[in-house]
Amino acid sequence: MSSAPVTVVDHPLIAAGLSILRAKTTAPDVFRRHLQEGAILLFAEASKKFQTAPIAVETPLASCAGAVLAKPIVLVPILRAGLGMLDGILRIAPDAGIGHIGLYRDAETLRPVSYFDRLPVNIAAAEVLLLDPMLATGHSACEATSILKAQGARHIQFLCLVACPPGIKQFHGAHPDVPIVTAAIDPELNTKGYIVPGLGDAGDRYFGTG
Ligand code: URA
């Protein structure tokens, strides 16, 4: 079975914003702004093919044809770095449903273990966007997607700012049906599971910790 597409969004605003995110001198307030804005641009790409239903609209001058989104949108950040992408996308999709998935890495098996998930009840009917800035080893994204599918999600896309070949391979090995939308594919993963060159620890930089 061939895998769903991996779309690298080619847009000057993404390229410029990602460079600011990558720079080690970028302060947390600026990092926050650009992570949020990058997520909005990724969301614009991911939503390009969302179905609409026709409606009639009365302008102050005449009636005309309009559109509404046919399916609800559900945004699911993987805690904690995914929250930065959520903050951005909510600015242009304020009525989206929100789910949360919390995962930690087991110290012995190095595998992600779920400690929290709470998802909206309409997830089966929704366009679901799973959010995590980094697709590194791919283990968290795989586990989170399995949780979404187990709770009925059928239309899922994974959005990240930076992916890498091992993460994409791992993710599409487990979930070949789920498209990936990213701003960049970096060449490597180091022995600590960080993407190189990447942008460092996205959660620490967003929240000013670490
Ligand atoms: N998580 C991050 O925040 N950065 C990486 O490079 C990999 C995983």
**Fold (topology level) of 6-50+69-207:** Rossmann fold (3.40.50)
Q: Is 136 in the pocket of ligand 1 (CB under 6 A)?
A: yes
Determine which one of 22, 80, 105, 117 is catalytic.
105
Quick one: which atom of ligand 1 is closest to the CA of 195?
Answer: 6
Alpha-carbon span 154 to 3, nearest angstrom = 16
The question of whether 109 is a catalytic residue gets the answer yes
Query: Shortest CA distance to 79 belongs to which of 133, 142, 147, 155?
Result: 133
Q: Whose CA is nearest to atom 3 of ligand 1?
A: 201
How high is the pLDDT of residue 201? 96
Determine which one of 7, 33, 87, 201 is catalytic.
201
How high is the pLDDT of residue 1? 72
pLDDT digits (tens, 9 = 90+) for 110-156: 789 999 999 999 999 999 999 999 999 999 999 999 999 999 999 99
Average pLDDT over residues 193-199: 96
Query: Which residue out of 85, 164, 201 has the highest number of ligand 1 atoms within 8 Å of its CB and is therefore the one to mutate?
Result: 201
DSSP result, the chain:
-PPPPEEE---HHHHHHHHHHH-TT--HHHHHHHHHHHHHHHHHHHTTT--EEEEEEE-SS-EEEEEEESS-EEEEEEETTHHHHHHHHHHH-TT-EE-EEEEEE-TTT--EEEEEEE--GGGGGSEEEEE-SEESSSHHHHHHHHHHHHTT--EEEEEEEEE-HHHHHHHHHH-TTS-EEEEEE-SEE-TTS-EESS-S-HHHHHHT--
Quick one: which atom of ligand 1 is closest to the CA of 198?
Answer: 6
Determine which one of 25, 59, 109, 191 is catalytic.
109
pLDDT digits (tens, 9 = 90+) for 41-66: 999 999 999 999 999 999 999 999 99
Query: Which residue out of 199, 204, 209 has the highest number of ligand 1 atoms within 8 Å of its CB and is therefore the one to mutate?
Result: 199
The question of whether 105 is a catalytic residue gets the answer yes
CA dihedral over 101, 179, 47, 150, signed as positive or negative: negative
User: Per-domain residue ranges for the chain?
Assistant: 6-50+69-207
Return mean pLDDT, the chain.
96
Q: Is 123 in the pocket of ligand 1 (CB under 6 A)?
A: no
The question of whether 7 is a catalytic residue gets the answer no
- Beta strand 52-58 with 127-131 is unpaired
